[in-house]
Structure 1
Amino acid sequence: MEVIVDSLQHNLSGLELTPLDNGFLLTYQQRIILRHTVQAPCLWVGGGEADIEMFRGNFNIKDRLNEKIALTDTVITRQPEGWTVHFSRGESLGTTLVITTDEQGRLKITLQNDDKTHNRIWLRLAAKSEDHIYGCGEQFSYFDLRGKPFPLWTSEQGVGRNKQTYVTWLADCKENAGGDYYWTFFPQPTFVSTQKYYCHVDNSCYMNFDFSHPDYHELALWEDNATLRFECADSYINLLEKLTALLGRQPELPDWVYDGVTLGIQGGTEVCQQKLDVMRNGGVKVNGIWAQDWSGIRMTSFGKRVMWNWKWNSDLYPQLDARIQQWNSQGVQFLAYINPYVASDRDLCEEASKRGYLTKDANGGDYHVEFGEFYGGVVDLTNPEAYDWFKGGIKKNLIELGCGGWMADFGEYLPTDTYLYNGVSAEIMHNAWPALWAKCNYEALQETGKLGEILFFMRAGYTHSQKYSVMMWAGDQNVDWSLDDGPASVIPAALSLAMSGHGLHHSDIGGYTTLFDMKRTKELLLRWCDFSAFTPMMRTHEGNRPGDNWQFDSDAETIAHFARMTTVFTTLKPYIKQAVAQNAQTGLPVMRPLFLHYEDDAHTYTLKYQYLFGRDLLVAPVYEENVDTWSLYLPQDSWINIWTGDTHQGGEITIDAPIGQPPVFYRANSEWAALFGSLRHI
């Protein structure tokens, strides 16, 4: 039975609660947020027990659900700053929902189950059938999320990521590593609706956002409480500014990032020098050497792995400290590698164990994770002393060495059955872990005065990675042309992350994962290089089996191609810097969906494989092999082909797209038109 107390026709910052027959309607700035009736309730609660198995960062997640109860009855009480709604079902205990606005005027909805055994919540937000939905972190297979559920859990991204493909089947058969369309390093409980509002959930538990019903979005949370925040805007650009004001923004990149490509090289000091000399003598603009094996090598059946003992290996890299200074004097940075785990058979792990800095197992012993033919201890970042110890290691072993940056890898592997210093369940901390890892790296730079000089880049993330992770990369794509795990997948990944508030993104040129007879071809590497020249950072990777892959120095033609495309990238430096500065100031991403600037063009809302690079460049990378023409869509504007000078006014077009001339157009009335036009002569 519905009971309504006090007058509900009250407007507060655009917030209104209106009674219905047997229910209510909550609107916020003319958007319907909640619609509840006895016949169609908006809230369910229940009890469940998570069954989560992890194997090498791949997760099998099931819920042993005891009950799921629709809460149909409500008692609504007017409060000074909003309303309290108590949901129940007959005599059953229920849930208290508080509707108010926070100090910035955002709509804030908090829920708390009365019965602590009810550790599951399903909340249905009102929707329109024509809505498009974007965000939920970094999504590789879909940009518009409408029509599908998206479980939100940080994990390996999976190999292949499409259950219909042979590669994914092979990966599943071998190690349950094939993944699915929603697997991601960087999930986030945030979405943007084309009703021009965002919804963000503060929690870090396992969640499932289901956008498949035409009339509602169902948010499922594996916790007994939840906090949701909403804001509206008159444009998507303003909406992203508000979202990033909530979550944080990345600082501007170090200036050296724009000065060429960062070469991924392994094998020691002299190998780095030799490859650097070859590339620079070939005219390639090189801004850095990224040597992930600076701490040593561990060979496994997967391929060449890094030794997880985060200090300079002087046997493999003799005289590295002196060579770093020499390279720096030539405008070349040295970048390293680190992650938040320590190899069980090395001295850093032994030291962490003696200090009590590792997470624990059920018996109070150190918890060790199997990472693929070796084990690693998990540094307990919830322990302030352990956190400071590891941050101190970053300062001493990387920053003092002279590193210009590093890959801050992993963060997804926190097992849910380990025990943490802060007493919070590892199931709740699992998603939050990557942002905590980002914060550790960020503070190391901040406290040494190196923020803005040194770059670290990450693959894993969660809420507030926007504030602490200065650059993302797309993780471990296959060295193939697959739609869900090749170069094409990087584009929706960048765009979905942009709509989640993180505007800096790049990828391994040529991909990484080399399994099941995959071999990176010359064509794939060159096409990926073309794409990367129109992203905020260019960086190569040898892959996990370098000998199976075509590399940047495999022949003279490849070196010449890198020389030309790095010249394109460095020529665009002032333009890219401006876009990066906008991201730092307002949260406007560098790689943007077209509808950010063409809201009235319905077709732009369906595009996931092309993007705006800053305001004035439109990029549609070629992501198929053996083609020399490409079809794309131009919104209504005056566009000039950056390579030919041909003008187009909009619509579907097909153009010649040979290697070295990726489909890129600039707006004819851009203030940067002269700069863009100069690229035709490179």
Structure 2
Amino acid sequence: MTFDVREDGFACLLGSREVLRSLAGAPAFAIARGAPQVKMVRGNFAIDDAPFDEVAPAFARLDGADLLLSAQPGGAPLLRLAIDGEALRVQTLEPGYDRVRVDLAALPGEHVWGGGEQMSYLDLSGRRFPIWTSEPGVGRDKSTELTRLMDEQGMAGGDYWWTNYPQPTFLTSGLWACHLGSSAYSVLDFTCADRHRVEVWEGAFTLEFFAADDLPALVGRLAGRFGRQPPLPDWTIGGAIVGLKDGDNSFARLAAIMEAGSEVSALWCEDWIGIRQTTFGRRLFWDWSWNEARYPALPGRIAELAERGVRFLGYVNPYLANDGSQFAEAQALGYLALRQDSEEVYLVDFGEFDCGVVDFTNPAAMDWFAERVIGREMLDFGLSGWMADFGEYLPVDLRLHDGSDPMLMHNRWPVLWAEANARAVASRGLTGEAVFFMRAGFSGVQAHCPLLWAGDQSVDFTRHDGINTVITAALSAGLVGNAYSHSDVGGYTSLHGNVRTADLMMRWCELGAFSPVMRSHEGNRPDDNLQIDSSPQLLAQFARMSRVHKALAPYVRHLSDEAAATGLPVQRPLFLHYFEEALFAVQDQYLYGADMLVAPVVEADAAARDVILPGDTPWRHLWTGEDFAPGTHTIPAPYGEPPVFYLPASPFAPLFARVRESG
């Protein structure tokens, strides 16, 4: 990067590319003092600000290699800009100025992607995206009755930008990218076509820039910057992970599911630590050790499963219920975050029960959780993996061990949570073998978390919270360095009479089969909802698609190894390999690697769907072997045969031809 100081202002250049332009009449920077207001109810946040004393320093002068900006020619400097390689360091120079707005240069018609794991929009152009990890909301659409009802109940309805995993990183169709090096609340604003605006609630930060000759190379650079995941172990891609939370009865149900012809790699029982019934549904007891009453003789059961080549998975999160034994242990050791006004433990309301926050800014507390909880209670007990849930709930009014500002630590909390899990796995020499999966994230989570899952979708086909959102989630997260994503087959959230249909279950089984990991979930209200074994039809569909998933394992192994080597995600937007503007907003179908195209059915009661086949060579229909020319086609989609195509010239073509026989 270089500065180009001119009579009427200055510019920042990345090579020959102008990424920032500031003129006296159109300054690129503005600074202010903030007055934040933050309210949290069970991971749902209402955040507002009343900035004052705003100034737009537009006049630049060199100070050695740095640039000083002032509001008037020769005036007192208000902002310092410094170049560090391909990064721009920004620092306010007046006390109390903790709000900075930066306008980056946009090309005419430029499209933008990224923002972490976005659920509603893959193409971010034309919208604002606040960056703040939180519950994603239920409904996420202010025009729907479900969202309205949830907003009335703890601000829980959400909106299009709410996400467990935001990240202040974006890529553009101009083949450059920008990453904000700050964990503060921020906003990526793409509402104006002539600029990309970044708003930051911190007075010192960096803007890192990246450029490449093509989009795959740019995505690879970002993956290298944040940390690539290891290849997925064979067991995760060689069959379905069956999620049951039915106590000891889970084993009999699993046996019946397997006898029906399902290819199963693992049994996932999140209730291995016991349950707590609430008005929300069947919740878990947040004390992270085996609950013998709910799962008698579990060590023997795990050994029996292992003899059949089936792993056992559990559940954990970074909070401790105040009526559990581990809470008392952590409290006695001083490992829980405290109230700001006393030495009392800060308790977080999780909906009819309260929990303490394990303070990961205390190295001893992180070591304790990694070794005492995950290491001894889970890995040594025989678990091969788990859902590492939550991470979004850090309040902004507690006191942390290292004295850090919770407003700056909130977004980083999922990264510390991922680090605790990864440290435990590494301590047993199981990195790349034991797998945990997370929904929460932020910049840098990629270096620790081996697998994402898309969170708690509603059990429906709705535009902003249904089955289709998990495709958008995988594609957006994949562009910023997350190679692997998957979802709860069947969805999770069932409230206010919204329950699974057989149609939804059939279609989600298909989507799961063409994801790197196929895992079912019984949801928050198992007794009210259809399950994969609720009927012969559903069980047959799950079994068939699990066999398809296993048949694709050699190809997914290739994609996983490729991800580790290049940083390219397994699930890819069409435009990653076919860089055409008409494809820039396509988010309901994806490339599965470079050789396969998947167009899941994500609308209710659909017998067919339109499919875009990109490029200039034919694509072969997976189920019939018929070749189709590039273009848009209406493809029949009977249950068990979602629209899937592959390139006939692929070295995996013989494998793909055998997949249709696996059902």
TM-score scaled by length of structure 2: 0.98
Amino acid at match of 2:31: V
Q: Is residue 231–residue 560 contact of structure 2 (8 Å, CA) maintained in 1?
A: yes
Whether 1:86 and 2:47 are equivalent positions in the alignment is no
Partner of 1:668: 648
Shift in Å, 1:75: 0.8
**How many Å separate the matches in 2 of 1:361 and 1:451?**
36
Q: Of residues 371, 379, 383 in structure 1, which corresponds to 2:350?
A: 371
**How many Å separate the matches in 1 of 2:296 and 2:566?**
44
Shift in Å, 1:299: 0.4
- The Cα offsets for residues 73-103 of structure 1, whole Å up to 9 and x where unpaired, read as 1112453xxxx110111345501011231xx
Q: Of residues 203, 207, 211 in structure 2, which corresponds to 1:232?
A: 211
Whether 1:277 and 2:255 are equivalent positions in the alignment is yes
What 5-or-longer segments of structure 1 have no aligned partner?
Answer: 1-14, 102-106
**How many Å separate the matches in 2 of 1:663 and 1:225?**
49
Whether 1:562 and 2:571 are equivalent positions in the alignment is no
Partner of 1:640: 620
Q: Is residue 273–residue 291 contact of structure 2 (8 Å, CA) maintained in 1?
A: yes
Q: Is residue 29–residue 232 contact of structure 1 (8 Å, CA) maintained in 2?
A: no
User: Share of identical aligned residues, percent?
Assistant: 43
Q: Is residue 630–residue 654 contact of structure 1 (8 Å, CA) maintained in 2?
A: yes
Partner of 1:3: none
Shift in Å, 1:32: 1.2
**How many Å separate the matches in 1 of 2:488 and 2:15?**
42
Structure 1, 210-219 or 91-100: larger mean CA deviation? 91-100
**How many Å separate the matches in 2 of 1:622 and 1:287?**
25
SS of match in other structure, 1:431: coil
**How many Å separate the matches in 2 of 1:241 and 1:115?**
38
Amino acid at match of 1:157: P
Partner of 1:435: 415
Q: Of residues 205, 210, 216 in structure 1, which corresponds to 2:189?
A: 210
SS of match in other structure, 1:176: coil
Shift in Å, 1:16: 4.0
**How many Å separate the matches in 2 of 1:333 and 1:506?**
18
**How many Å separate the matches in 2 of 1:93 and 1:234?**
37
Whether 1:619 and 2:598 are equivalent positions in the alignment is yes
Partner of 2:201: 222
Q: Of residues 308, 332, 340 in structure 1, which corresponds to 2:310?
A: 332
**How many Å separate the matches in 2 of 1:244 and 1:563?**
35
Partner of 2:478: 498
Amino acid at match of 2:188: F
Q: Is residue 116–residue 224 contact of structure 1 (8 Å, CA) maintained in 2?
A: no
Structure 1, 161-170 or 299-308: larger mean CA deviation? 161-170
Aligned CA RMSD, in angstroms, stands at 1.1
Partner of 1:679: 659
Partner of 2:395: 415
**How many Å separate the matches in 1 of 2:192 and 2:343?**
46
**How many Å separate the matches in 2 of 1:518 and 1:586?**
42
Partner of 1:479: 459
Shift in Å, 1:550: 0.8
Q: Is residue 82–residue 90 contact of structure 2 (8 Å, CA) maintained in 1?
A: yes
Q: Of residues 527, 530, 546 in structure 1, which corresponds to 2:507?
A: 527
**How many Å separate the matches in 2 of 1:567 and 1:67?**
63
SS of match in other structure, 2:50: strand
Amino acid at match of 2:419: K
Q: Is residue 140–residue 489 contact of structure 1 (8 Å, CA) maintained in 2?
A: yes
Shift in Å, 1:680: 2.6
Q: Is residue 455–residue 470 contact of structure 1 (8 Å, CA) maintained in 2?
A: yes
**How many Å separate the matches in 1 of 2:620 and 2:110?**
32
- The Cα offsets for residues 133-175 of structure 1, whole Å up to 9 and x where unpaired, read as 1101000000000101100000000001111111111111222
Whether 1:189 and 2:175 are equivalent positions in the alignment is no
Q: Of residues 259, 264, 285 in structure 1, which corresponds to 2:243?
A: 264
Partner of 2:104: 125
Shift in Å, 1:129: 2.8
Whether 1:323 and 2:301 are equivalent positions in the alignment is yes
Partner of 2:147: 168
Shift in Å, 1:253: 1.2
Q: Is residue 512–residue 518 contact of structure 2 (8 Å, CA) maintained in 1?
A: yes
**How many Å separate the matches in 2 of 1:351 and 1:462?**
29
Q: Is residue 111–residue 225 contact of structure 1 (8 Å, CA) maintained in 2?
A: yes
Whether 1:96 and 2:75 are equivalent positions in the alignment is no
Amino acid at match of 2:286: W
**How many Å separate the matches in 2 of 1:493 and 1:572?**
22
Q: Is residue 360–residue 418 contact of structure 1 (8 Å, CA) maintained in 2?
A: yes
**How many Å separate the matches in 2 of 1:541 and 1:99?**
48
Q: Is residue 229–residue 447 contact of structure 2 (8 Å, CA) maintained in 1?
A: yes
Q: Of residues 29, 40, 44 in structure 2, which corresponds to 1:43?
A: 29
- The Cα offsets for residues 473-514 of structure 1, whole Å up to 9 and x where unpaired, read as 000000011011111111111111011111110000010000
SS of match in other structure, 1:229: strand
Structure 1, 62-71 or 215-224: larger mean CA deviation? 62-71
How many corresponding residue pairs? 657
What 5-or-longer segments of structure 2 have no aligned partner?
Answer: none
Q: Is residue 21–residue 37 contact of structure 1 (8 Å, CA) maintained in 2?
A: no
**How many Å separate the matches in 2 of 1:217 and 1:27?**
15
**How many Å separate the matches in 1 of 2:96 and 2:440?**
32
**How many Å separate the matches in 1 of 2:193 and 2:255?**
58
Shift in Å, 1:125: 0.6
TM-score scaled by length of structure 1: 0.95
Q: Of residues 199, 203, 223 in structure 2, which corresponds to 1:244?
A: 223
Partner of 2:532: 552
**How many Å separate the matches in 2 of 1:69 and 1:441?**
44
**How many Å separate the matches in 2 of 1:68 and 1:289?**
56
**How many Å separate the matches in 1 of 2:512 and 2:247?**
26
- The Cα offsets for residues 516-536 of structure 1, whole Å up to 9 and x where unpaired, read as 101111110110000111110
**How many Å separate the matches in 2 of 1:609 and 1:94?**
46
